Structure 1
Amino acid sequence: MNGNPSCDVMVIGSGLAGLESARCLGLQDFKVIVIDKEKDLKSMFRRLNLLYPEGMPNSHTIDPLIDAVLELDNVEIRAGVTIEKVSGKLGDYKITIKKDNQTEQINTKAIIVATGLISYDIEKVTAYGYGRYENVLTPIEFEEQISRGEIDSDSLKNVVIIHCAGSRDENFLPYCSRVCCFIGLKQAKLIKDMNPDCNVYSCYMDIRVYGKFESLYKTLRDVHNVTFIKGRPSKVEQIDGKLFVITEDITLGEKIKIPADYVIVNHGYTGDEETLKKLRIPLDSSEKGAFPTTYIHASLSVDSNPRGIYICGGAAYPKNVAETIADARSAAMGVMNSLKNTEMKTPVAEINSDICAELQCKLCLSVCPYGAIYEEDEEIKVDESMCMGCGICTATCAAGANSLPGWSDKDMFELIDKQVKENDVVAFLCKWCAYPAAKPLVEEGLEGVNFFEIPCTGRISGSLLLHTFDKNPKGVLVAGCYPDSCHYVKGNFHARRRIFLTRKLLEQFGIPPDKLRLEWGCNYETKRMKKILTDMKGGR
């Protein structure tokens, strides 16, 4: 590979997920390079002293993992490294890294992203005084100070834990980060272990725990007498050097003022937008600081093409320790399968660079739910491993530069010209919901109806609909998945907008707009599908 250092897999992040995935790959004789921007092996988990609810020391879990990875000759760890640029595709990625102002290119066949959780900047929530008051700490800071002996058990008289600090708040993080309640309960247990007489107050909106963590919550409440106060604190103030938390108590129906030696602001977490952006992987755009769930869910689908990039652990979405280890092993297995089976499972969009260069509209860049379309060296390209073959981008391209093999405009126009007769009903049906519902009708041979199976209603373009109406059909049906159930995330919403605009055009051409019909459905609704088509044929 051009004489540059090379490996089978590059793992970005040396935390729990990164080390475990590297260990699994290394045991299967894959050459692995692990890089981390930290200058030593120091992830969030290694900054913690004990893992609750059992209170297990890191020496039982994380330290042996580090030792196991370091013993593998085919796993190399590079600390203090940042990523400058990523290019290429499955089997041939080129990653430019930087260390001590020196850049280097590494070639790799696949990538695992394990950069962990990014702590939300709680200083933005100014009402809680973080960054202004010395004893207002994050959970990690509080636990680090305890492990370093900077907080003495005798100094713990009154401690307030603020759950959902900045989370589930449209002004900051609008979502729940899933693991914060576990972390808050852990802090409460840690404090009570150190000083059973300490008054611990947990201010919460909802306690969202499951499994064995539910028993931890009940133990803290019923055995250790932790006071749980339902209500979101309005502010933290310091009077004469003493901290006070002002909060509502919904149960009592009044505002209370709690004195505190320490306040722990239990904040939420975000995705690693900086790293994922360099890898061209989109975060869910509907929520500030969200995670790349669309990309991850697509990779779990059986019709997904072999992926070159896998995301695991907290980089995917917040997880506890056991879930992180399981996810790391799953990512390692996914990489092994991708490198072994590189055959594409689904059609991949193709770009005619000559036509595209003339128009340069770049609309396809914004409509792909998976970030498969990208611009490199002023040219629009498609990442084969990320394309799901939905056809949304093909329908968006007015110039015809973008085509989906099997469902290109040329292919579809030829089918329509060959099959559709005057006064027929034409049904464009998504292959995931509507077509399975209509399949018994297709096999039955419903007279006067032409069925076209399409990957997604998002593939339907205005030009395709207008070409169909040129055959003077009795009606045209576009049917797909119910809203928010689209296999390709938002293809049906793109279809809805295009049909709305096409109806406006039909009206201008003197064609009744209600001859173009949009329906949502599910794969078992055969009777409903038959009724819709019968109505369109005029057989009410």
Structure 2
Amino acid sequence: MRCFIGIELSLEATKEIEDLNIQEKIDEVNANPKINVYTSSKIQKIEGQPGQFNVTLDQNGNTVEFKAGAIVLATGWKPYDASKLEELGYGKYDNVITNIQMEELISNGGVKADSVAFIQCAGQRDENHLPYCSSVCCMVSLKQAKLIREQNPDSKVYIFYKDMRTPGLYEDFYRTAQDDEGIFLTKGNVTKVAQEAGGLVVGVEDTLLGETVNVKVDRVVLATGMVSSMEGIPTTKEEQAELQEKGIEFENILNLEYRQGPELPILKYGFPDSNFICFPYETRRTGIYAAGCVRQPMGINESIDDATGAALKAIQCIELISQGGTTFPRSGDVDYPDVFLQRCTQCKRCTEECPFGAINEDEKGTPFYNPMRCRRCGTCFGACPERIVSFKGYSVDMVSTMLKAVSVPGPEEEKPRIIAFVCENDAYPALDMAAMHRLKYNPFIRVIPVRCLGSVNTVFIADTLSKGIDGVLMLGCKYGDDYQCHFIKGSELADYRMGKVQETLDRLMLESDRVKVMQVAITEYDKVPQIMDEFYESIKELEPNPYKGF
């Protein structure tokens, strides 16, 4: 976890600055006989699964091996590349520096300047650079401004910002800077940084004063943002091969011996966060948790809380694994995938589609299941064209039996029959909530709960329609940036698979409108009856399924 030279605001005294004694914490860790610290080390590889990770380190040329039950990734952040900010003078003028460089100067007591200008959001909140806010830069600039004033009471400090963000009690600290007559703060857009005789000139437009301001200073500080330490690192073997072909050097962090790649899958901007709404430390690799600035920008106090949460999740994982259970979202489930490998065709669909990298494969493509990596989503169950994957509590036979148990009205009755495969995570609870609110849905629809829409095999769709069922509705979690499927990409996979089910429908001489995939959030229970009714009306417009009665 990286901090700004160990200086941070105290929660107890939000108006002042205090030294954060990191060395004391380091000494405490080193003195603990239950903690092994490996310095000057790099991870060569990590094999195995939660509860049984085999870690190999390279420590100054020596190989060190040990076992681990869970892993917390806390590799921190790196500053945004300021060389991309030439329009703000970086690289052109010696006295244009970054906030990291300014922190080093302050720490060494060497800020030799009578006037300093801070440019906030330098390369941040900008579609051409970092589109997000790094959350700590405003606080850091205010802190540095006060430290500059302490070292040189006659100095003048200017802070030009887009928005000043000092959340919570830190607003008090902002006020102390406003009260300092030597610190000038104004909202505006920096239009130029130019060198003139005797110093630098910063041009600012659209200020709170409603006019253009040109300020002459000795030094300019760019408040560059935080970038995840995983940004730019290839996370899959294909990405690795592509960089190697281009001759681009890179260095991995975890070096996982996983079929899907050596690193944690990332979302946007290099952050390895699964985007679970209520489970921020989860990643797409079971038993490996991300904490601190590697997963999102944050300050020291937030990082401490984050590390605590990730450590507790790691403990919970080890406890569950020791009992044979899995972790979130089916916490404690002791049901393992049962695979009849004698019929495996080595198609690799299960190894490619598993959202958690639980399945490796040999050189022939035969899958090798790591049961402790598995989260029991059933995606492999839905991916296998041979239907050779089952769980004791969720098997091919169980789903087939449920389908067979559904009565199909004869063609003379003119009563459509619809099957709804409903995800147990959001859609099924939404259906329950609709019932609790006494909402009614169409009586011609029969509901079959599934672990995830990704566990619905296209063969089940063919079996359903060939039985004479008139339509198939699939309800799953929403996916995308704002809301994510509990099993990462189950709804997305179902949407993709059903897009290819046309071939099956053509073979059965049936219309593609008979199959529909919809996403619903748990809070949208009031929309579920409407979705079902609208699908029923669309099925009524079609001819009865010609397979009725066969």
User: Is the TM value for this pair above 0.5?
Assistant: yes
Distance 1:413 1:257, change over 3 A: farther
Contact kept in structure 2, 1:160 and 1:263, CA below 8 Å: yes
1:72 aligns with 2:32: yes
Q: Does 1:141 align with 2:101?
A: yes
Deviation of residue 487 (structure 1)?
Answer: 2.7
CA change 1:240–1:199 in 2 (3 A) is: same
Q: Name the counterpart of 2:408.
A: 421
C-alpha change, 1:526 and 1:186, in structure 2 (3 Å) is: closer
Call closer, same or farther: CA 1:245–1:524 in 2, change over 3 Å.
Answer: closer
Letter in structure 1 aligned against 2:255:
K
**Is this contact kept in 1: 2:381–2:455, CA < 8 A?**
yes
- Give 3-state SS (helix, strand or coil) of 1:79's partner: coil
Alpha-carbon separation, structure 1, partners of 2:501 and 2:383:
13
TM-aligned CA distance change 1:117 to 1:398, over 3 Å: same
Match of 2:477 in 1: 481
Amino acid at match of 1:180: C
Alpha-carbon distance in structure 2 between the residues aligned to 1:511 and 1:166 = 54
Instruction: Give the Å deviation of 1:494.
Output: 3.1
Q: Provide closer, same or farther for how the CA distance between residues 141 and 384 of structure 1 changes in structure 2, counting only shifts above 3 A.
A: farther
Q: Secondary structure at the match of 2:33?
A: coil
> In 1, Cα distance between the equivalents of 2:181 and 2:525?
58
Counterpart residue number, 1:165: 122
Q: Which amino acid aligns with 1:199?
A: K
Question: Following TM superposition, by how much is the alpha carbon of 1:209 offset from its aligned partner in structure 2, in angstroms?
Answer: 2.5
The alignment partner of 1:164 has SS state of: coil
Residue 237 in 1 paired to residue 194 in 2? yes
Name the stretch that deviates more: 464-473 or 124-133: 124-133
**Aligned with 1:336 (options 302, 305, 315):** 315
The answer as to 2:420 corresponding to 1:432 is no
Any stretches of 5+ residues in structure 1 without a counterpart?
Answer: 1-14, 16-42
Deviation at 1:398, TM superposition (A): 4.5
Provide the residue aligned with 2:76 in structure 1: 116
Shift in CA distance, 519/99, structure 1 to aligned 2, threshold 3 Å: closer
Contact 2:421 2:475 in 1 (8 A): yes
Compare 93-102 and 483-492 and name the one that shifted more.
483-492
Matched, 1:227 2:178: no
CA contact (8 A) 1:113 1:310 kept: yes
Amino acid across the alignment from 2:497: R
Match runs of 1:83-482 below 5 Å: 83-151=43-111, 155-224=112-181, 226-240=183-197, 242-251=199-208, 256-273=213-230, 274=233, 278-279=255-256, 280-285=262-267, 287-294=268-275, 298=279, 308-342=287-321, 343=323, 344=325, 345-346=332-333, 358-360=346-348, 364-365=351-352, 367-373=353-359, 384=371, 387-398=374-385, 400=387, 406-407=393-394, 409=396, 411-419=398-406, 421=408, 423-439=416-432, 447-482=443-478
Question: 2:3 aligned with 1:44, yes or no?
Answer: yes
AA in 2 matched with 1:278: N
Read off the aligned partner of 1:513 and give its amino acid letter: S
Q: Which moved more, 1:462-471 or 1:82-91?
A: 462-471
| Contact 1:276–1:282 (Cα < 8 Å) also in 2 | no
- TM-aligned CA distance change 1:480 to 1:310, over 3 Å: closer
* Unmatched segments (≥5 aa) in structure 2: 234-251, 257-261, 326-331, 410-415, 541-550
Q: CA deviation at 1:72?
A: 1.5
Identity %: 29
Instruction: Classify 1:182/1:452 alpha carbon distance in 2 versus 1 (closer, same or farther; 3 Å).
Output: same
Residue 506 of structure 1 is matched in structure 2 by 505
Within 5 Å, give how 1:27-38 maps onto structure 2: none
Distance in structure 2 (CA, Å) of the matches to 1:469 and 1:492: 21
CA deviation string 1:186-225 (max 9, x = no partner): 2222223333443222222222231122222233234445
Q: Helix, strand or coil: the match of 2:120?
A: strand
**TM-score, normalised to structure 2's length?**
0.76
1:503 CA drift (Å): 5.2
Alignment match, 1:29: none
SS class of match (2:462):
helix
1: CA distance between counterparts of 2:341 and 2:197?
69
Paired residues of 1:425 and 1:474 also in contact (CA < 8 A): yes
C-alpha distance 267-415 of structure 1, shift in aligned 2 (>3 A): same
Residue type at the aligned position of 1:63: Q
SS at match of 1:233: strand
Contact 2:52 2:69 in 1 (8 A): yes
Residues 54 and 62 (structure 1 numbering): CA distance in 2 closer, same or farther, change over 3 Å?
farther
- DSSP-derived class of the 2:475 partner: strand
Contact 1:429 1:480 in 2 (8 A): yes
Give 2:247's aligned residue. none
- Which amino acid in structure 1 is aligned with residue 417 of structure 2? D
Asked whether the 8 Å contact 1:307–1:386 carries over to 2, the reply is: yes
Three-state SS of the structure 2 residue aligned to 1:487 is coil
Q: Deviations over 1:354-401 (max 9, x none)?
A: 76673346x753x55555555687765555555443344543454657
Instruction: Give the C-alpha shift of residue 321 in structure 1.
Output: 2.0
Alpha-carbon distance in 1 for matches of 2:380, 2:140: 42
